[in-house]
Structure 1
Amino acid sequence: MTPRGTASTSRPAVRKAAGARLSGIDAARGLALLGMMATHIFPTFESNAQLTPTWVGLVFSGRAAALFAVLAGIGLALSTGKQQPLQGPQLWAARRGIALRALVVGAVGLSIGGLEVNIAIILVHYAVLFLCVLPFLGLDVKRLLVLALGWVLVTPALAFLLRPWLLTAEPPLQLGHNPKWEDLSTPAVLLGDLFLTGYYPVLQWIAYLLIGLAIGRLALTTAAVPVLLLAVGTGVAVLAKWLSVVLMEDWGGRAALQASLLDPSYPLESLLQVNLAGIDQTGSAWWLASSAPHSGTTLDLLHTSGVAAAVVGVCLLLGRLVQRTGRDLLLPLRGAGAMTLSFYTAHLCVMASLYGQPLPSGWTVDGIYWVQALTILALGGMVAALAWRGPLEWLGHAANQLGRYRPARVS
Structure 2
Amino acid sequence: MTSRGMATTTRTARTKAAAPRLAGVDAARGLALLGMMATHVLPTFEADAQLTPTWVGLAFSGRAAALFAVLAGIGLALSTGKERPLEGSELWAARRGVALRALVVGAVGLSLGGLEVNIAVILVNYALLFLCVLPFLGLRAKRLWALAAAWLLATPVLAYLLRPWLLAAEPPLRLGHNPGWEDLATPARLLGDLFLTGYYPVLQWLAYLLIGLAIGRLALAKAAVPWLLLAAGTVAAVIAKWLSVVLMEDWGGRAALQEQVGDPAYPLASLLQVNLAGIDQSGSVWWLASSAPHSGTTLDLLHTAGVAAAVVGFCLLLGRLADWVQLDLLLPLRGAGALTLSLYTAHVCLMASLHGHPLPAGWSTEGVYWAQAVAALVIGGVFAAQAWRGPLEWVGHGANQLGRGRWARTR
**TM-score w.r.t. structure 2 length?**
0.96
Map Cα deviations across residues 276-304 of structure 1 (whole Å, 9 max, x no partner): 01110011000000000000000000000
Deviation at 1:5, TM superposition (A): 3.2
Q: Percent identity?
A: 78
1:279 alignment partner AA: I
1:405 alignment partner AA: G
Secondary structure class of the residue paired with 2:80 = coil
Map Cα deviations across residues 81-135 of structure 1 (whole Å, 9 max, x no partner): 0000001000000000000000000000000101111100000000000000000
What is the aligned residue count?
Answer: 406
| 58 and 6 in structure 1: CA distance in 2 versus 1, 3 angstrom threshold | same
Match of residue 125 from structure 1: 125
Match of residue 145 from structure 2: 145
2:109 alignment partner AA: G
1:141 alignment partner AA: A
Match of residue 91 from structure 1: 91
Match of residue 170 from structure 1: 170
User: Separation in 2 of the partners of 1:389 and 1:203?
Assistant: 31
Contact 1:17-1:222 within 8 A present in 2 as well: no
Deviation at 1:266, TM superposition (A): 2.6
User: Separation in 2 of the partners of 1:406 and 1:13?
Assistant: 25
2:80 alignment partner AA: T
Deviation at 1:320, TM superposition (A): 0.3
Deviation at 1:6, TM superposition (A): 4.6
Map Cα deviations across residues 326-378 of structure 1 (whole Å, 9 max, x no partner): 11111100000000000000000000011111111011111111111111111
Q: Which runs of 5+ in 2 are unaligned?
A: none
Q: Which runs of 5+ in 1 are unaligned?
A: none
Map Cα deviations across residues 53-98 of structure 1 (whole Å, 9 max, x no partner): 0000000000000000000000000000000000100000000000
User: Separation in 1 of the partners of 2:406 and 2:345?
Assistant: 32
Moved more, 5-14 or 302-311: 5-14
Match of residue 359 from structure 1: 359
Answering whether residue 14 of structure 2 is matched by residue 39 of structure 1, we say no
Match of residue 317 from structure 1: 317
2:372 alignment partner AA: Q
The within-5 A match list for 1:342-353 is 342-353=342-353
Deviation at 1:17, TM superposition (A): 2.3
Match of residue 72 from structure 1: 72
User: Separation in 2 of the partners of 1:10 and 1:108?
Assistant: 39
Map Cα deviations across residues 227-251 of structure 1 (whole Å, 9 max, x no partner): 0000000000000000000000000
Contact 1:83-1:218 within 8 A present in 2 as well: yes
1:93 alignment partner AA: A
Match of residue 113 from structure 1: 113
2:346 alignment partner AA: A
Contact 2:110-2:179 within 8 A present in 1 as well: yes
2:106 alignment partner AA: G
Answering whether residue 292 of structure 2 is matched by residue 304 of structure 1, we say no
Match of residue 216 from structure 1: 216
Answering whether residue 396 of structure 2 is matched by residue 396 of structure 1, we say yes
Match of residue 24 from structure 1: 24
Match of residue 206 from structure 1: 206
User: Separation in 1 of the partners of 2:388 and 2:407?
Assistant: 27
Match of residue 195 from structure 1: 195
Match of residue 248 from structure 2: 248
2:307 alignment partner AA: V
2:322 alignment partner AA: V
| 358 and 321 in structure 1: CA distance in 2 versus 1, 3 angstrom threshold | same
User: Separation in 1 of the partners of 2:119 and 2:269?
Assistant: 23
Contact 1:17-1:320 within 8 A present in 2 as well: no
Match of residue 180 from structure 2: 180
Deviation at 1:265, TM superposition (A): 5.0
Secondary structure class of the residue paired with 2:145 = helix
User: Separation in 1 of the partners of 2:337 and 2:387?
Assistant: 13
Match of residue 274 from structure 1: 274
Runs of 4+ displaced beyond 6 Å: 7-11
Map Cα deviations across residues 12-63 of structure 1 (whole Å, 9 max, x no partner): 6543220000000000000000000000000000011110000000000000
| 390 and 165 in structure 1: CA distance in 2 versus 1, 3 angstrom threshold | same
Moved more, 4-13 or 344-353: 4-13
Secondary structure class of the residue paired with 1:5 = helix
User: Separation in 2 of the partners of 1:117 and 1:194?
Assistant: 19
User: Separation in 2 of the partners of 1:349 and 1:407?
Assistant: 30
